[in-house]
Structure 1
Amino acid sequence: MGTALITGASAGLGLEFARQLAAAQHDLVLVARNKERLDEVAQDIRATTGVAVEVLPADLSVHDDVESVAARLAATGAGSGPAPVGLLVNNAGFATPGRFTGGGATGEMAGVDVMVRAVVRLSHAAVQQMVARGRGAVLNVSSVAALTAGGTYAAAKAYVLSFTEGLAVDLKGTGVTATVVCPGFTHTEFHDRAGIPKSSVPSWGWLDAPSVVRQALADVRRGVVISTPSVRYAVASAVLRAMPRWAVRAVGKLR
């Protein structure tokens, strides 16, 4: 069924992508910073699905770590080398809470490194070997926040959205596709880690991770470029696109 490489695979949407792809009998390469947690996830997936799982610990804010993941993505399977990656899921990311002017720039720059620089570098490494083989897919995780005025996080996700659309145009006719998924609020560890209280969002505003991942993977299979899980967030996205930017700025942040 092919091999999928997932960044941010130890928790949240990344973990759900790993579980669903393994259930569909895809071998996996799991990337995240925490090796111990990756090993636990890999052991569980191997035991329950029987697929092969590689573990590749990497901090995607660190240049050398990004290059190690890029080298794995560049593998073509020639000779005794590792199997080529047929699906790249660029999922790693984190919120940058608070005002841009309220603290240091270290966290903001790390966010750009993980959610922009790494996405570009890893997508480039992946599509080189995919185009040469005439098949493959890149799935980048953005957010409905890409359409808001939500600081560094929203700006990074807006870049991912625009970048993926451009990549899809470049890949047309190659047998390789690019999809960007733009979920709204989703029940994962993301908001807990960012210190964003879940009570600030009404219950109807929440999506569940399995549904988001199912739709994203279904849209990859159909060659959809922009995947927006749920009717309510598809409508919200259409409204945000139609609103004048001064009104979008008045709405504030959405993660």
Structure 2
Amino acid sequence: MSKLALVTGATSGIGRAFAERLAADGYDLVIVGRRAERLAEFAAAHPEVAVRTVAADLSTPEGIGAVAEICAAEPLTMLVNNAGVAHYMPLAELPAEKAAELVSVKVLAPTMLTRAAVGGMQARGEGTIINVAGMIAFGGPAPHAQMPRRAVYGGSLAYLVAMSQTLSAELEGTGVTVQVVCPGVVATEFHERQGLDLSMVPRMSAADVVTASLRGLDLGETVCAPGVENAHLLDEVFNADLAAFGAQGPDLATRYRNA
């Protein structure tokens, strides 16, 4: 049986690297992006697999709806929610339209596309959902001097981590696997489009991010951090999360009782 993957943000960077790798692995593809000419270029370069191109803007209800319809109708083996925008700036300086675009692309679109795809995957007893987030999801406690403020961007990536972990548990035993990939700085056009020059910063390749993700699936990782050598650090974070979650009680904590 043929394998079918839908990849968003497939015109460059990590999305393009996913599409390249999956085509090499024999997947037929549905590739989604804003730039129709780049989608057509990719399809023409990969005649060995069936490639359907979908020009859609996932910051709009129409774009999300069109791609969600495909996710619901097609027998997807894999869904890669990769599309993204950065808009790095403090919240007070972030224009309303850019805040809405960011939340639509990194929160609403992955949610609605996953919702559309997961029912069919469950019915077929197999499927993989990969959400592309980033290590900034874990950077919330960092002081200003260490990390520039980008509250909406960081919050959207943290949402993808929490959603992926919770959905993975929800789908246990169904044959459907969920993973969230959290790379650090990657050598793509992503930062350049925001006017950021990171050419002197050590960066991972997009191909290596994809390698980590696919190997992470083999290892059973729900959270894949391609640049973190010591995986026990992630275990410690999540164990601490669960410890705090399990330690809650119905009584007001002592520290809040003494004014």
TM normalised by structure 1 equals 0.84
Cα pair distance change 1:233/1:97, threshold 3 Å: farther
Counterpart of 1:219 in structure 2 is: 216
Task: Give, as a single letter, the amino acid of the residue that structure 2 aligns with 1:164.
Answer: S
Counterpart of 1:155 in structure 2 is: 155
Higher helix share: 1
Following superposition, the deviation at residue 45 of structure 1 comes to 2.1
**For the residues of structure 2 that align with 1:234 and 1:12, how far apart are their CA atoms?**
25
**For the residues of structure 2 that align with 1:142 and 1:171, how far apart are their CA atoms?**
20
> What is the aligned residue count?
230
Task: Give, as a single letter, the amino acid of the residue that structure 1 aligns with 2:110.
Answer: V
Q: Could you tell me whether the CA contact under 8 Å between 1:147 and 1:241 is conserved in 2?
A: no
Question: For structure 1, which runs of at least 5 residues remain unmatched after alignment?
Answer: 76-82, 244-255
Counterpart of 2:64 in structure 1 is: 66
After the TM superposition, which residues 198-217 of structure 1 pair with which residues of structure 2 at under 5 Å, given as runs?
A: 198-199=198-199, 201=201, 203=202, 206-217=203-214
The C-alpha deviation readout for 1:23-56, integer Å capped at 9, x for no partner, is 001000000111111111111122xxx0100001
Following superposition, the deviation at residue 220 of structure 1 comes to 2.4
After the TM superposition, which residues 72-83 of structure 1 pair with which residues of structure 2 at under 5 Å, given as runs?
A: 72-75=70-73, 83=74
Following superposition, the deviation at residue 102 of structure 1 comes to 1.8
Q: Could you tell me whether the CA contact under 8 Å between 2:87 and 2:94 is conserved in 1?
A: no
After the TM superposition, which residues 104-183 of structure 1 pair with which residues of structure 2 at under 5 Å, given as runs?
A: 104-149=95-140, 150-183=150-183
After the TM superposition, which residues 186-197 of structure 1 pair with which residues of structure 2 at under 5 Å, given as runs?
A: 186-197=186-197
**For the residues of structure 2 that align with 1:199 and 1:84, how far apart are their CA atoms?**
40
Larger radius of gyration: 2
**For the residues of structure 2 that align with 1:211 and 1:84, how far apart are their CA atoms?**
28
State yes or no: 1:24 paired with 2:35. Answer: no
Following superposition, the deviation at residue 67 of structure 1 comes to 1.2
Counterpart of 2:185 in structure 1 is: 185
The C-alpha deviation readout for 1:184-235, integer Å capped at 9, x for no partner, is 111111111122221573x3xx211111101101222443211111344858
Cα pair distance change 1:26/1:200, threshold 3 Å: same
TM normalised by structure 2 equals 0.83
Following superposition, the deviation at residue 73 of structure 1 comes to 0.9
**For the residues of structure 1 that align with 2:236 and 2:124, how far apart are their CA atoms?**
40
Counterpart of 2:43 in structure 1 is: 42
